Amino acid sequence: MKLDIALIHYPVCNKKQEIIGSAVTNLDIHDIARAGKTYGVNNFYIVTPFADQQKLVGEIIEHWRHGYGARYNNDRREAFSIIKVCERLEDLYDEYTRSDLPRPLTLATSARDVAQKQIPYEVLRQRLADGEHCLILFGTGWGLAPEVIADVDAFLPPVGGGMTYNHLSVRSACAIILDRLLSER
Amino acid sequence: MKLDIALIHYPVCNKKQEIIGSAVTNLDIHDIARAGKTYGVNNFYIVTPFADQQKLVGEIIEHWRHGYGARYNNDRREAFSIIKVCERLEDLYDEYTRSDLPRPLTLATSARDVAQKQIPYEVLRQRLADGEHCLILFGTGWGLAPEVIADVDAFLPPVGGGMTYNHLSVRSACAIILDRLLSER
C-alpha cells in the first residue's frame, strides 16, 4: 500500500475565502501522525512556507523522535517517524520526480461537494489495494486554495452524516477518510 | 436516531494501568462536538468529577455558545449546543431514569480487542437506524477503567487498519466510530 498524505498550511482560504497561510496546530501533527501510522500511511507531509513554523514543527518532531518524548512514549515516536516537513507543495511534487517516481494520483479533500472528477471511496480503496501510489491533500483554515484544487487529479467526496451541518476538524476528517480507505475488513 | 456519547475523565487508566482522573483537553471538546453534530448525535456528555475542570469546561462552552465565539463562529455555537457536563457516569445513568427513560444500550470503546459481548458496527448501525437509544462511552488517558467496562452492555470492536500499531487519539477514534455507524450511504 502506497499512500502519502499532506497537510497544507499555504495556500489555504480563510473565513472570507481570502488566500492565507495558517499556523501549524500541534494536535494536528499528533493526531494525523497517529492515524497515519495506525492505517499504514507511508509519509505525512506538513507543508508550510514559513521558516518560524518549520522551526517549530522541527522542534516538536525532534522532541518526540529523539528527545524526552521518545523515551516517555515510544508509540508517539513511531507515529512521528512518518512526518516530513515541506516548504511548498511544488517541492513535494519535485521530491517524487527526484526519486524517479511519477507524481502519485493526487486527490483533494473538501467539506463542500465538488461534483466533477470525484472518486468514490470504494474505488480508491481498491486502487490502493492494487498498489497504486496516491497522495491525499488536506487543507487547514477554511480549506484548500483554488490554485491547489485546480492542480489535483481528482476529488474525494465530503465525509459526514448527510446532515445540513458538516464541520469536522481536519483531524477528524483525515481519520475518517483513512478508515474508509484502509480499515481492516 | 437516538445516540448519546460520553467522554469519561474519571475513572480512567494511566500508562501504568492505575486509576486516575484525567484533565479535560480543549480540542477534545471542539472535535467531538463538531463530529457529534455532523453525524446527528443527540447529547455529548463530558464526565468529570473535578469542580475546577467543570468550571473550565463551563467557561469554554459559554464562550462558544453565548460569548464572542458564538458571534465569530456560528458553526461552533451549533456544535457546542449538544454538550452537557456531568459529574459522574452514575449521574448520567440517573438522568435517564429521572426523564423516565430506560438506560440506553451502553457500549464501551477500547483500542484493545475484547472478545466478549462485541457488537459489530453493521449490527449497531442497523439498531440505531431502527431507533434504539444507545450511549457510547469513550475513555481518555489510557482508556476506561475496569469498573466502567464491567458495567456496560456491550463492546464496540477496536477501529484501525489491521496493523500492529494502533494508537489513535480519542478524537480520531470517536470520529471514525460515528462515521462507521452514521455515515450517509
pLDDT score at B171: 98
Spatial contact of B177 and B134, defined as CB atoms under 8 Å apart? no
Taking the C-alpha atoms of residue A44 and residue A117, their distance in angstroms, rounded to an integer, is 24
Residue A67 has pLDDT above 80, yes or no: yes
Interface probe for B, chosen from A76, A77, A78, A172 (most Cβ of B below 10 Å), is A172
CATH code for the domain of B111: 3.40.1280.10
Interface probe for B, chosen from A38, A168, A171 (most Cβ of B below 10 Å), is A38
Q: Which of A131, A120, A103 lies closest to A156 in space, CA to CA? A: A120
Where does chain B show beta strands of DSSP type E? Answer: 3-8, 12-13, 19-20, 43-47, 83-86, 105-108, 134-139, 154-155
Residue of chain B minimizing CA distance to A163: B38
Nearest-neighbour CA in chain A from B128: distance (Å): 13
Spell out the alpha helix ranges (H) of chain A: 26-39, 51-65, 68-72, 74-80, 89-98, 121-129, 146-149, 170-182
Within a domain: B43: yes
pLDDT score at A116: 82
Residues of B in contact with A183 (CB under 8 A): 159-162
Nearest-neighbour CA in chain B from A79: distance (Å): 9
Residues of A in contact with B159 (CB under 8 A): 179, 183
Spatial contact of A108 and A146, defined as CB atoms under 8 Å apart? no
Within a domain: B131: yes
Residue B172: φ, ψ to 5°? -70, -45
Is the CB of B172 less than 8 angstroms away from the CB of A172?
yes
Name every residue whose Cβ is closer than 8 Å to that of residue A161 and which is 6 or more positions away in sequence: B38, B39, B40, B178, B179, B182, B183, B184
- CB atoms near residue B56 (< 10 Å): 17
SS3 sequence, B33-74?
Answer: HHHHHHHCCCEEEEECCCHHHHHHHHHHHHHHHCCHHHHHCH
pTM above 0.95, yes or no: yes
Within a domain: B56: no
Predicted confidence band at B115 (pLDDT cuts at 50, 70, 90)?
Answer: confident
Is the CB of A38 less than 8 angstroms away from the CB of B178?
no
- CB atoms near residue A16 (< 10 Å): 7
Q: Which of A30-39, A104-113, B113-122 has the lowest mean pLDDT?
A: B113-122
pLDDT score at B89: 96
Is the CB of A39 less than 8 angstroms away from the CB of B180?
no
Nearest-neighbour CA in chain B from A36: distance (Å): 9
Residue A115 has pLDDT above 90, yes or no: no
Question: How is residue B83 annotated by DSSP?
Answer: E
Helix-strand-coil split of chain B, %, nearest 5:
40, 20, 40
Largest CA distance in chain B: 47
Q: Which of B26, B120, B1, B130 lies closest to B80 in space, CA to CA? A: B26
Residue B98 has pLDDT above 80, yes or no: yes
Is the CB of B165 less than 8 angstroms away from the CB of A30?
no
pLDDT score at B154: 97
Q: Tell me, what's the ipTM?
A: 0.97
> CA geometry: angle at A175 spanning A173 and A181, to 5°?
100
Q: By residue range, what is the domain housing residue A50?
A: 3-182
Mean pLDDT for the stretch of residues B33-43: 98
Within a domain: B98: yes
Nearest to B179 among A76, A159, A182 (CB): A159
Q: How many structural domains compose chain B? A: 1
Q: Which of B6, B44, B1 lies closest to B184 in space, CA to CA? A: B1
Within a domain: B70: no
Within a domain: B32: yes
Residues of A in contact with B38 (CB under 8 A): 160-161, 163, 165-168
Residues of A in contact with B5 (CB under 8 A): none
Taking the C-alpha atoms of residue A142 and residue A111, their distance in angstroms, rounded to an integer, is 9
Residues of A in contact with B161 (CB under 8 A): 38-40, 178-179, 182-184
Q: Which of A55-64, B110-119, B147-156 has the lowest mean pLDDT?
A: B110-119
Within a domain: B76: no
Mean pLDDT for the stretch of residues B90-106: 93
Nearest-neighbour CA in chain A from B76: distance (Å): 8
Residue A150: φ, ψ to 5°? -65, -20
